[in-house]
Amino acid sequence: MAEVIIVRDAAAGGALVADHIAALVRRRPETVLGLATGSTPLPVYAALRTRLAGVDVSHVRAFALDEYVGLDPAHPESYARVIEREVVRPLGLDPARVRLPRGTLPGIEHAGEDYEHEIADAGGIDLQILGIGSDGHIGFNEPGSSFASRTRVKTLTRQTREDNARFFAGPDEVPRHCITQGLGTILDARHLVLLAFGEGKAAAVAGAVEGPLTASLPASAIQLHERVSVVVDEAAASTLGFADYYREAWAHKPAWQGL
């Protein structure tokens, strides 16, 4: 069962996860992080700025979950730019050690396989940060994605394009295709940390944590992983059946166990 941690708000969730990541990097300077984009992980990245100040991050490597296909990498909403803006520059990471799947059209047919090789060559991902879509996607693995899937091109659902329209001039400006780590790729990471804030995520979170294992709700794949931390605020936790149990378990967790 995933460990579910119910926090006061997104800032508290960001602080909790950032504390854990900073401790990991101090302990293991060559940590390999898996990065999500979108709004959800921003409090983690913001909290990491102070926690990693003065820490040697020159050996940290990072792999993003996904990228839009066919969007100019210089577009302010390409995930390459978002990661550069929100993570690489503020945290002082080495840009050469932070990778994204290649969404540009020439070579797109082998970009997924290339990315899988890059992750494997780095020794795999130690900690993968995840958000969750309102339709239950993680990465951009939309409903129906195989639990065994690897990095590949996917078509975004109308729902996801509408959800992401806030970053563009409108839903029609959101690219139709993306390249994303597969569910199988995500499950290979050694620790999954899924964050979700707000009522709009409540149904997806309940399905992911307590619902049946089903490709119709791709995030339910996290139930197959032996180490998952789900960090949610009260609103995102509002339809969880075992919320009282999660609160009790967290309140009595021995400090030495950490996240």
Interface residues toward ligand F6R, by CB under 6 A:
36-40, 65-66, 131-133, 137-140
Closer residue to ligand F6R, CB minimum distance, 5 or 42:
42
191 annotated active-site: no
* CB 145, min distance to ligand F6R, A: 11
DSSP secondary structure letters along the chain: --EEEEESSHHHHHHHHHHHHHHHHHH-TT-EEEE--SSTTHHHHHHHHHHTTTS--TT-EEEESEEESSS-TTSTTSHHHHHIIIIIHHHT--GGGEE----SSTTHHHHHHHHHHHHHHTT--SEEEE---TTS-BTTB-TT--TT--SEEEEPPHHHHHHGGGGSSSGGGS-SEEEE--HHHHHTSSEEEEEE-SGGGHHHHHHHHHS---TTSGGGGGGG-S-EEEEEETTTTTT-TTHHHHHHHHHT--GGG--
Q: Which of 20, 66, 191, 233 is catalytic?
A: 66
121 annotated active-site: no
137 annotated active-site: yes
* CB 168, min distance to ligand F6R, A: 13
* CB 122, min distance to ligand F6R, A: 18
Q: Which of 67, 116, 135, 233 is catalytic?
A: 135
77 annotated active-site: no
* CB 67, min distance to ligand F6R, A: 9
Closer residue to ligand F6R, CB minimum distance, 133 or 259:
133
Residues that are catalytic: 66, 135, 137, 142
